[in-house]
Amino acid sequence: MKEKIPKILSILSVSDTIVFPYLLVPIEKSDEKSKKLIDDSLSGDKIIGCLAIKKNGKPYDIGTAALILKFLRIPDGSVRILVQGLDRIRVKSVIQDRPYLKVEVEQLKEKEFKDLEIEALMRNVSTMFQHIINLAPYLPDEVNVMLDNIQSGGRLADFIIAQLNVNIEEKQLILEALDVRTRLKKLLPILDKELSILKLGEKIRSEVKTEMGKSQREYYLREQLRAIQKELGQKDEKTIEIEELTQKIKKAKLSKEAEKIAYHELDRLKIIPPQAAEYIVVRTYLDWLVSLPWAKQTVDRLDIDRAKNILDDDHYNLEEVKERILEYLSVRKLKSDTKGPILCFVGPPGVGKTSLGMSIARALGRKFVRFSLGGIRDEAEIRGHRRTYVGALPGRIIQSMRRAGTKNPVIMLDEVDKIGMDFRGDPASALLEVLDPEQNHEFMDHYLDVAFDLSRVMFITTANITDTIPPALLDRTEILKLPGYIMEEKLVIAKQFLIPKQIKENGLTRRYIKFEDETIKKIVSDYTREAGVRNLERQIASCIRKVAKQIARGKRKKYIISTENLSDFLGPPKFYQELAEMKGEIGIATGLAWTPSGGEIIFIETIKMKGKNELIITGQVGDIMQESAKAALSYVRSRAKNFNINEKSFNGYDIHIHVPEGSIPKDGPSAGTAITTALVSLFSDKPINPKIAMTGEITLRGKVLPVGGIKEKVLAAKRAGIEKIILPKWNEKDLKKIPERERAGLQFKFIKNIDEVIKEALLDSNSN
C-alpha cells in the first residue's frame, strides 16, 4: 500500500545526493539539528521531506517525500538512515525553522503515458546508459538487470540519473521535470556528456599506459628538458627554489655554525633529483633553519610605571609576583644584556597563573607563546626528532620560537608538575638544559642539530604543587607562590573583573543588574569552595544568564541580586562553613587545616572505651596524619604524670580518634597539637576552650614545629568565630603577610612545646 504523504513535513537538507521517488538512498548526518529531526520522525509516521541544497546554502523548492526504512547510530556520534522516495513535493510555505525546518507541501503528480516518441526516447537513453555501464568503473553490471525491469519512462529517467556521477544541479533538473517527455529529453544531453567524458578518460589511460612504461625514459626526457631550458635561458622550479633559499639564508643572519650547515645542505639539494624523498627532507630542514629568529628581537618597553599599571589593571593583589617583574625591568634598564629569569608560578587552580604570564608579556612589549606540558611523556616533544625518522619535526621549544618570530619572547610552560615519563624518555630531564641560563645559550634540538640561543627568552613555568616536579628542574627555577584569594580579595576581583566581564559577554549592561557585596560574599562562602575564582565566575555568569533570559523575554528592569533572592538564581547553598562550638567539651579540640580551596577549621574528636589498648583513627586521614596521632598518644602516655593523668587509665581501653567530614581526604602533620590536646582532655576529664583553635606539628619530645598555610588558617578561624589562635613560635613571622584588618579581634599565642598548648587550651573540669 502506498504511504499517504502529510501536508506538513519536516525537511532534511541533503548536500551530496538527491532522493528520487521509488529509489532507496542512504543518508548520513552528524549535526544536532538533523539528528533531532530524525529522532522525532522515527517516533511518528517516519515520513520526511528531502530537499537538496543550492550553492548559496538555501534549499530548492522541489524535493521528494521519503520514508525512513532503517536507522543506525554510529559510535562517532553520527547517524545513518536508509530512506525510500515516495513522491515529488513542492514547498508552499514555511511553518517553523527551529529546531529544524518544517514546511507545508503539495504533492506533485506526473502524467504517465506512452506514445511512439516516448518509446523512442526510452530506448535511446537505455542504450546510452548501457554504454556508460561498460565504461564507468563505479557502476556494477547488476544495474543492467534492474534497467530491464523498468517499464515506465518517468521511473527510467529517475533511476538512470540517480546512478550517474553527475553534479547536484543536473540531478535537480531531472527531479523538477514533471512531464515525462521533457524529463527524458533533458536526460539525453547529460548522458551524452557523461559518455564523452568516459570515452576520453579511457583514451587517456591507454595512451599513458603505452607512453609511460619506463622510468628510465622519463629520466632522460627530464634531463633533455633541463638542457633545453638552460639553452633558452629559462629556469626550472628546482633552480627557482634554490635561488629563493639562498636569499633566505643571507637574510636570516644565522650563526656561523648554522650558516655553514645551511650552505652544506643547499649544496646537497642542488644534486638531489626533486622526485627523490630526500629532496623534501632537506628542503623542509632548510625551511625550518631560515624561518627561526636568529637575530630578530623586540625592543623591551622598560617604563616601570607603565608596566606596573598594566599588571595592576589585569590582576588584583599578587604583589610579590608584580614586584619581581618590576625588579627584572629595572635591572634590564640598567644592564641591557642581562639574561632572562626562569620563573615558576606555583598555586592552586584559578588564581591567575596563565593570565599573569600574558600580562607580563604585554607589560614588556614582547611576544607571548604558551604550550602545556601536561601529560607529555616523550622527550622528543622537547628536543625534537632526529631527521632520520619519517615525518621528523623540531621540539616544542623551537616550534614556539618560530611561532613567536623573535628571539626574546615570553614562553609559558604550563602544568610543569604534570609531566610524565615512559620508554620514550623523560621530558623533564630534557627541560634541564632549556631552563638553565648558563646552558640554554647553546640549546641543541635533535632536529636542527645546531646550537640555538635561548638566553634572551623569558621562561615562565606554572604548577599547582612542587612535590611532583623533579628536584633538579625545580632548582633551576625561581619559585613565586600564588596563594589562594581571601574573601575580601575575591570580593574586589568579582566587582572589578568578573562581573563587568560576564555582563559584557552576556549582552547586558550595568543598568539591568546589580550584585550586592554581601551577595558576592555569600556566593563565595556557600556556593564555591576553591582557592581561585573560576567557580565564582561561573556562579556569577549563571546569575547574569538568568537575568539575560528575563530581559530577552521583554521584562526590562533592574535586577538586584541580594542574599534573600540568591537561591532563586543558584538554588540552595552547596557548602556550609564550620563554626566554633559554643560550649567546651571533653576530648574535642579545634584544629586548623589548609586545603587547595583555602583554610578550614576541623574538629578532632576522641573517645575511650573498654578494649584491647588499640588506637582507631577514622575520617579518611592520610598516613602522615595517622603518624601524628600515634606520636601524640605516645607523648601523652609518656608525660601522663605531668598532665595529672592516672597511668592505669590507658590499660584496657581502646582509643578512637575521629575527624568529621569523612568523605573529604585529610593529611599532613599540622593537626598534631590538636590531637595531643584532645587526648590530654580525654584522659584528664577537662574540657577544651571552644574559642581556641590550634595548629602545629609535634615531636615525641613535645616540641611544636612550624607548619604552612598560616594565612589561610587564620582567615578560616576568624570566619568560624574563633577568638584565640595557638601557633608555633616559628610561624610568628608569617603573620606579617596577613592584613591588619584580618587580624583584628583575634588573639595569638606562639608556643614552642605542647605543655604551653595544654596550659592555654584546657579549662577547669567544672567550666562551661
Positions annotated as catalytic residues are 670, 713
C-alpha cell at 507: 549582552
Task: Look up residue 46 and give its amino acid.
Answer: K
Helix (H, G, I), strand (E, B) or coil at 404: helix
The DSSP symbol for 704 reads E
Among residues 710, 331, 180, 695, the alpha carbon closest in space to that of 483 is found at: 710
Q: Which residues contact 610 (CB under 8 A, 6 or more apart)?
A: 652, 653, 654
Give phi and psi for 631, each to the nearest 5: -65, -40
- Tell the residue number behind the cell numbers 606554572, with chain if given: 462
Cβ-contact 499, 491 below 8 angstroms? no
Which candidate, 658, 719, 665, 723, places its Cα nearest to that of 694?
723
Task: Print burial letters for 553-580: b (CB count within 10 Å at least 16), e (below 16).
Answer: eeeeeebebeeeebeebbeeeeeeebeb
- The C-alpha cell 534573600 sits at 564
Nearest to 544 by CA among 527, 528, 555, 560: 560
- Strands 410-414 and 458-463 come out as parallel
555 and 568 Cβ atoms separated by less than 8 Å: no
Say if CB 415 and CB 305 are below 8 A apart. Answer: no
* Parallel, antiparallel or unpaired: strands 79-96 and 653-658: unpaired
Q: Is residue 52 a contact partner of residue 15, using CB atoms and an 8 Å limit?
A: yes
Alpha helices in 622-753 (DSSP H): 623-638, 672-684, 710-719, 740-743
Tell me, rounded to whole angstroms, the distance of Cα 724 from its chain centroid. Answer: 44
Distances (CA, A) of 568 to 507, 520, 523: 21, 15, 13
Residue among 737, 572, 601 nearest 674 (CA): 601
Q: Is 215 exposed, middle or buried (0-12, 13-18, 19+ CB in 10 A)?
A: exposed
The closest alpha carbon to 498, from 528, 537, 530, belongs to 537
- DSSP assigned state of 496: I
Q: Is the peptide bond before 99 cis (omega within 30 degrees of 0)?
A: yes
Cβ neighbours around 530 below 10 Å, total: 20
Contact 651/613 with Cβ under 8 angstroms? yes
Q: What is the largest CA-CA distance in the chain?
A: 125
Q: Which three cell numbers stand for residue 559?
A: 535586577
Q: What is the β-pairing status of strands 102-107 and 458-463?
A: unpaired
Residue 524 C-alpha cell reads as 563565595
CA distance 484 to 577: 17
